Amino acid sequence: MLRELYNRTGEWLRGTGPESDIVISTRIRLARNLTNFPFLSRANDEQKKDIEKLARERIKENELTKNLHYIRLSQISPVDRLFLMERRLISREHAGSDGERGVAFGKAETISVMVNEEDHLRIQVIYSGFELRGAWKTIDELDNILEKELHYAFSPRFGYLTACPTNVGTGMRASVMMHLPALGLTHHIEKVFSAVGKLGLVVRGIYGEGTQVLGDLYQISNQFTLGKSEIEIVEIMESVVPRITSYERMARSALMTENKDQLEDRVWRSYGMLKMARMLSSEEVMHLLSQVRLGVNLGLINDVSIETLNELFILTLPAHLQKLEGKEMEATERNVIRASFVRKRLG
């Protein structure tokens, strides 16, 4: 199954859906734990094996989830686990932890179910663009299916019981990945994020908590789940994200009006480097792709698609390049391969 992923990307990178010039993707994730088992932080190796085996069997046996592909992470290499993390099918913590654990995911990569991450189950749905309602409908249906097969730990007082107290309640995190280069260029990004924090939302890097912001890509999500219903969390996100989108559009308009020459120079220099460079680091290519993506959305560049740029954000990451070449490589060699790959994709 992994080999099939090397030559394609998930539907959430298609550059479609509402507000997709700014909102790359929408993700909703649910944290769930099973009754009769301790949290993973207290579980021994045998209990972790039992949890993984039970979840794997139930997923494969159910009529609506049996077509998901299941991979046992303990049976694949560290590079393959990093590859799955780069695809956002598993988390950084899931890729790096030990013991029996797995992931089930659909062909379109819009659905994935992590087994034995921080909680027994982490169910997630990712859509392209700003699609909170659609993502919520899909994950709610999937959650109901799994709940019939796997009995969840639930308290009438506190809601779904989770390993981290911030997830207790609905166990739900709704997040959007946003491309906000103009707010960065106009030095308004910190002001916007300060306002977001006061509304109970948190801003993180591309792969969540503790990860670096690359390519002007930010994940914005709810910080707490206790005391709020799933619909209330969705409504909070629906009220805040359009404001950020509006601020980014105003910043782009200001750049085009007040600094168009400098902006065009920045965009075309970035495009030129991507098409001509012989070595590119991960950080450098993410920055250059961000500038070119801005240029495409502003109509300054017309011969490359948003889908191609979105894919390059992922396909140029370390594990993807190593799988492309069929071998592990040091950073310097990856920089050469990365530059060659980008040149070919950009024609």
Nearest-5° Cα angle at 289, 129 to 215: 70
Amino acid letter, 59: I
Buried b (16+ CB within 10 A) or exposed e, 286-321: bbbbbbbbbbbbbebbeebebebbbbbbbbbbbbbb
Domains and CATH numbers, the chain: 2-252 (3.30.590.10), 260-345 (no CATH)
Q: What angle do CA 20, 24, 30 make, to 5 degrees?
A: 120
Residue 198, judged by CB atoms within 10 A of its CB (0-12, 13-18, 19+), counts as exposed
What pLDDT does 204 receive?
A: 85
- Is pLDDT above 90 for 209? no
Q: Mean per-residue pLDDT for 89-99?
A: 93
- Residue 56, pLDDT score: 96
Q: Please identify which residue in the block is written with the tokens 């209990």.
A: 47
Nearest to 13 by CA among 327, 289, 262: 289
Given phi > 0 = left and psi -120 to 50 = alpha, else beta, which region is 140?
alpha
Which residue type does 154 have? F
Residues 6+ apart with CB under 8 A from 127: 11, 12, 17, 25, 26, 27, 110, 134, 135, 138
Rg of the Cα atoms in the chain: 21
Task: Name the H helices within the chain.
Answer: 2-6, 45-61, 78-86, 92-96, 132-149, 181-185, 189-198, 230-258, 260-276, 282-297, 306-315, 318-325, 331-345
Model pLDDT, residue 195: 87
Q: What type of residue is 4?
A: E
Above 70 in pLDDT, residue 212? Answer: no
Q: Report the pLDDT averaged over residues 46-67.
A: 92
Q: How confident is the model at residue 182 (pLDDT cuts 50, 70, 90)?
A: very high
Q: Which tokens hold the place of 214? A: 């690359």
In total, the chain counts a number of residues equal to 347
Taking the C-alpha atoms of residue 252 and residue 273, their distance in angstroms, rounded to an integer, is 22
Burial of 99-132, coded b for 16+ CB within 10 Å and e otherwise, reads bbbbbbbbeebbbbbbbbbbbbbbbbbbbbbbbb
pTM of the complete model: 0.93
The DSSP secondary-structure symbol of 237 reads H
Per residue in 279-335, pLDDT tens?
A: 999 999 999 999 999 999 999 999 999 999 999 999 999 999 999 899 999 999 999
Mean pLDDT to the nearest integer, 150-175: 92
Mean pLDDT of 164-180: 93
Q: How far, CA to CA in Å, does 319 sit from each of 80, 91, 329?
A: 7, 14, 9
C-alpha closest to that of 101 among 154, 50, 176: 50
Return the pLDDT at 129: 97
Q: Nearest to residue 334, comparing CAs of 267, 272, 284?
A: 284
Which residues is 160 bridged to in the sheet? 154, 169
Cα–Cα distance, 303 to 321 (Å, whole number): 24
Which are the contacts of 297, defined by CB distance < 8 A and separation ≥ 6?
21, 252, 306
Decide if pLDDT at 214 tops 60: yes
C-alpha span between 289 and 178 (Å, rounded):
14
